[in-house]
């Protein structure tokens, strides 16, 4: 018979390991792109996807990319705080067994730290996946961005359909 604290600790370690795998995959793919694809170069993979080498000094969709440099440290601090909150949330949730919640948190954490490493080390995030729909191109992204998006979707699904606590009604509930 296993102690519930052992089970909770194993869950926490499992989802922290998922975050570490996302970080490793993100950093490895970004390294490969920087090494093997010329800046702003493109390698077509098929009729709707390219590998490209882009630098994003802003946030999602290049938000604040032309802000003059202060945004680098703003995003570093923001990602550090959010990552700390997520680690605390994972720790608090470890005994609940909420797989979708913890998977979402692990993916978002890994993605946030993957992009945080780039931003702190390089001053920008390397993006390299470009998807086309006809003549429309989705903004380039990377493994960390994909993990954040999938993780956020899992968190939304958990909140809407699986969360054990109902919506808060009124202040102080």
**DSSP H/E element including 134:** none
Concerning whether 66 is annotated as a catalytic residue, the answer is no
Domain of residue 40, residue span: 4-162
Residue 49 included in any domain = yes
> Domain total for the chain?
1
Residue 53 included in any domain = yes
Task: Calculate the alpha carbon distances from 158 to 29, 79, 154 in Å.
Answer: 29, 22, 6
Mean pLDDT of 55-74: 63
Catalytic residue among 26, 118, 127, 158: 127
Mean pLDDT of 73-89: 90
* Residue 29: other Cβ atoms inside 10 A: 18
Report the predicted TM-score, pTM, of the whole model to 2 decimal places. Answer: 0.85
Residue 169 included in any domain = no
Closest CA to 93 of 11, 155, 27: 11
Give 171's pLDDT tier (boundaries 50, 70, 90).
Answer: very low
Concerning whether 127 is annotated as a catalytic residue, the answer is yes
Under 8 Å between Cβ of 60 and 51: no
Residue 70 has pLDDT above 70, yes or no: no
Residue 83 included in any domain = yes
User: Radius of gyration over alpha carbons of the chain, in Å?
Assistant: 18
Residue 168 included in any domain = no
Residue 93 included in any domain = yes
d(CA 159, CA 84): 20
d(CA 21, CA 95): 22
Under 8 Å between Cβ of 105 and 89: yes
pLDDT tens digit sequence for 122-159: 989 999 999 999 889 888 999 999 999 999 999 999 99
Residue 167 has pLDDT above 60, yes or no: no
Q: What is the pLDDT of residue 108?
A: 97
Residue 173 included in any domain = no
Alpha helices in the chain (DSSP H): 4-36, 70-93, 99-122, 143-157
Residue 13 included in any domain = yes
């Amino acid at each position: 018979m296993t102690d519930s604290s052992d089970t909770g600790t194993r869950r926490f370690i499992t989802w922290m390991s998922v975050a570490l795998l996302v970080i490793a995959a993100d950093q490895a793919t970004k390294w490969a792109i920087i090494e093997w694809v010329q800046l702003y170069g493109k390698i077509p993979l098929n009729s709707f996807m390219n590998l490209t080498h882009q630098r994003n000094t802003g946030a999602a969709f290049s938000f604040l990319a032309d802000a003059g440099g202060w945004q680098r440290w703003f995003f570093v601090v923001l990602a550090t705080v959010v990552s700390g909150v997520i680690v605390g949330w994972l720790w608090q949730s470890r005994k609940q067994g909420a797989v979708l919640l913890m998977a979402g948190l692990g993916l978002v954490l890994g993605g946030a730290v993957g992009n945080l490493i780039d931003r702190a080390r390089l001053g920008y995030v390397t993006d390299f996946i470009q998807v086309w729909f006809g003549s429309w191109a989705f903004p380039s992204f990377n493994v960390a961005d994909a993990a954040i998006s999938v993780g956020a979707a899992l968190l939304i699904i958990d909140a809407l359909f699986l969360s054990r606590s109902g919506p808060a009604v009124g202040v102080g509930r």
